[in-house]
Amino acid sequence: MTGEKTSMVTQKHDRNAGGRIPRPAHVMQLIATNFYGGPDRQILGQALAMDNKRFRTTIAAFSEGGKDAELVRRAAAAGLPAETVPVRHAYDPRAVGLITELLRRESVDLLVTHGYRSNLLGRKAARRYGIAHLVVTRGWTTENLKVRLYHALDKFTLRRSEMIVCVSENKKTELTAAGIPTAKLTVIPNAVNAADPRKRPSVNWRGKYGWPPTVPIVVSAGRLSPEKGPDIFLAAAEILREQGLPAKFIIFGSGPLAGQLQTRIENGNQAGIVILAGHVTDLRDELSAFDLLANPSRSEGMPNIVLEAMAAGLPVVATDVGGVAELIEDGRTGRLVAPGDPAILAVAIRNALAQPERTDEMARAAQEKVKREFSFETQARSYADIYDRLLRGQ
């Protein structure tokens, strides 16, 4: 068995070193995911846009408790090869062996990993099998001690990785400050599909909550955890209500702050004014029903919801954190505000709703920007260049 593995690894190294990988090369994308969120959309969108004459993509995700990830189901429905890594739990000691066996069985040429767990386990499996490994990193949070420990492990993995894709220049700066050599870092921004003008929201959101048909709706979306700032959004809504602004507010998402936010809404007599709507998988299809997106994050990589709002022509007010300023040019494609201050966010929301013509003009400029600069076709070409470099051993 050991001799067989050694022979196989040598063959893989020989093939990589010579740069003579048969076309199309086989790329596997690996992620640990428990819901279909922003990273999942990026993986699927890029895979579908990739030149399949040069690369074929398999999407893989950990499957805990015998349940396939939503990403795997969607990939299969889109006609892409999709696999699961059937671990018993998040700390299953068999995980590296299972990934290695999957790489061997599928004759994978390059493994691309997303998130600290996939990065750590995937790097070990790729080294064991003898193929190139690419890390895609988005953002770190300080949600709790366990998450901080995970991200410390991720930094350890990244320092030893061959090449790393950052989703923003801001993330590249952060990794450089963490001691990761700049030569390993490449920036490839997130992408978004152009909005389909024929698609209409599946829900009458005003009717659903018994609101007047013309009342403005301001929305926020993301994981309900401290770094995403849903408490900041709620506090801004409270300020605007006290000031008499005739608007309603919806918070989309799920996470550890859900109970705390709901209690605050009820205790503050905000029921019927602020709604916790839970996680909506295809929220981008609903965005045209609303008047404004507020992104109140304390930290970010490059937020998918902002890209999706821009593509849908929905005006955006966002905190100036992470890579947001690489999307929003203040006063031209949206509004940027300082993070962590509900009063400042409230002023920006009020001004955006009070100046609909100016706000709509910025939304149109934002829509044109994402069409030009943030398409999946553009993103796929950038990834293809990185894949070629890794597969040729450069």
Task: Give 325's DSSP letter.
Answer: G
Residue 316 backbone phi and psi in degrees, to 5 = -130, 135
pLDDT value of position 57: 98
Are 106 and 97 a contacting pair, CB within 8 Å? no
Report all structural domains of the chain as residue ranges with CATH numbers, in order of start: 2-191+375-391 (3.40.50.2000), 205-373 (3.40.50.2000)
Q: Is the pLDDT of residue 2 over 60?
A: no
Looking at the DSSP assignment, which residues form a beta bridge with residue 84? 61
- Over residues 112-139, the pLDDT tens digits come to 999 888 999 999 999 999 999 999 998 7
Using DSSP's 3-state secondary structure scheme, residue 28 falls into strand
Write out the two tokens for 239. Answer: 């300020």
pLDDT value of position 383: 97
Q: 26: Cβ–Cβ under 8 A, 6 or more apart, which residues?
A: 55, 56, 58, 106, 107, 108, 109, 110
Residue 248 backbone phi and psi in degrees, to 5 = -120, 160
Alpha carbons 365 and 261: distance in angstroms, whole number: 34
Average pLDDT over residues 235-252: 97
Using DSSP's 3-state secondary structure scheme, residue 72 falls into helix
The residue among 305, 294, 277 whose CA lies nearest residue 346 is 294
Are 243 and 306 a contacting pair, CB within 8 Å? no
- Over residues 283-302, the pLDDT tens digits come to 999 999 999 999 999 999 89
- Over residues 330-355, the pLDDT tens digits come to 999 999 999 999 999 999 999 999 99
pLDDT value of position 143: 57
R_g (Cα) of the chain, nearest Å: 22
pLDDT value of position 14: 46
Report the range out of 6-15, 169-178, 210-219 with the highest average pLDDT.
210-219
